[in-house]
Amino acid sequence: MTAILRSQLLSKFSCLGDKCEDTCCQGWSMQMDEPTLARYKKEAPELLGAVEAEPDGSHIMRKDPQTSFCVKLEGGLCGIHKTHGEKFLGDACYFYPRVTRALGNQVVMTAAMSCPEIVRLALADENACAWEEAAAERLPHSLKNYLPEDTAAGDALAVHQAFLKATEDKQASAERIFLRIANVSRSFERIDRKGWPQAAPFYLTHADGRLPPPESDAADPFNLLHALCGLIVASKKRPSPRLKQTIGDMEKALAATLDWDTVRINTTVQSAAAYQKVKALWQKEAAAKYAPHLRRWLQMQLALALFPYAGLGDKLSERITVIGVRLATIKLALMCSYNIYGATLPQDAAVRIMQSISRFMDHLGDPAFSMQIYTEPGWTQEKRMRGLLEI
């Protein structure tokens, strides 16, 4: 057993198995680690047929080409788990949706919002990301250490915790909280990392006074939808049915259509007015209702990224841009769905929207193309990001 720190919501998590509405056993190339593969070769050679080699020499669980389900999925449940036990699961299958990382000798575990049940738990518990001490029977065979050489584990945890705590401000919107965090992150790039533990609380407290005025662009809502389309096409991954529904609602509400073959967005003469209607209804009826949802999503994203020490991007300014665009995309998707369904929009629709976008976005491994797309409309600039989040 290994002592770890984990996000509190994990104490309540249990895989839904065959009841999951968007199983991780379908559509994903679940990685197989070499130690588990070696165990198959030695102790259970009958399982080797469920594994296939990738061109780069790595291995993944084999999928049924007709259904895209793992070939070992039986009636919605894992056949390997059923017949051989969890010790024969590869790390990817054993730990998901848990995400485990190291900060020096401190192991921390949180969870990904690409799992529907994790999203439900996160939205239901305002203490979802609070740390709790726990014991882990198993750790990933490859446990990456994100602690910088010149930083103590306790200091790194304090900085990370300062950002998580910033999301607890119930008097501020998720957009405002994010802008504070983004402003501090840009300041961090200009000071020695050893000063981060002392600077984080002070900078966060005074961030509002340093925010630039917003610079908006009427095309931003449509560019967000277009950017999502571009990333999906570039990834060469088919969007899940849940993501298709989310995108379809966005197209309908904005009176715009995506051309997936040419990767273009086609707007109409009604599009501008349609968006203004979406925005007006959101501000009048829904913004306050969904503010806690967006704050919780932001908190979970920071926890997932072990921010500011990990995340998609080499620099803090890149990592914060990626999170900001994703927040704006989630918000726009909620706005559009509310415009279509109004007060009849069920609670689980917010789960579906957040999870379906996260399922795609959280598994983008290379930040280069994302940053290329986000740079063109100016979203890497602080003033433009503020304008984007005020859509």
pLDDT in tens, 75-97: 888 999 999 999 999 999 999 99
Reply yes or no on whether the pLDDT at 144 is more than 90: yes
What the block records as the tokens of 376 is 């063109």
Nearest to 222 by CA among 245, 178, 253: 253
pLDDT for residue 218 = 96
d(CA 350, CA 121): 13
- The pairing of strands 98-103 and 106-111 is antiparallel
Nearest to 237 by CA among 359, 319, 353: 359
pLDDT in tens, 260-304: 999 999 999 999 999 999 999 999 999 999 999 999 999 999 999
pLDDT for residue 266 = 97
pLDDT in tens, 125-143: 999 999 999 999 999 999 9
d(CA 94, CA 92): 6
Question: What is the model's pTM?
Answer: 0.95
Residues 6+ apart with CB under 8 A from 42: none
Query: If you average pLDDT over every residue of the chain, what do you get?
Result: 95
pLDDT for residue 311 = 92
| pLDDT category of residue 12 using cuts at 50, 70 and 90 | very high
pLDDT for residue 316 = 94
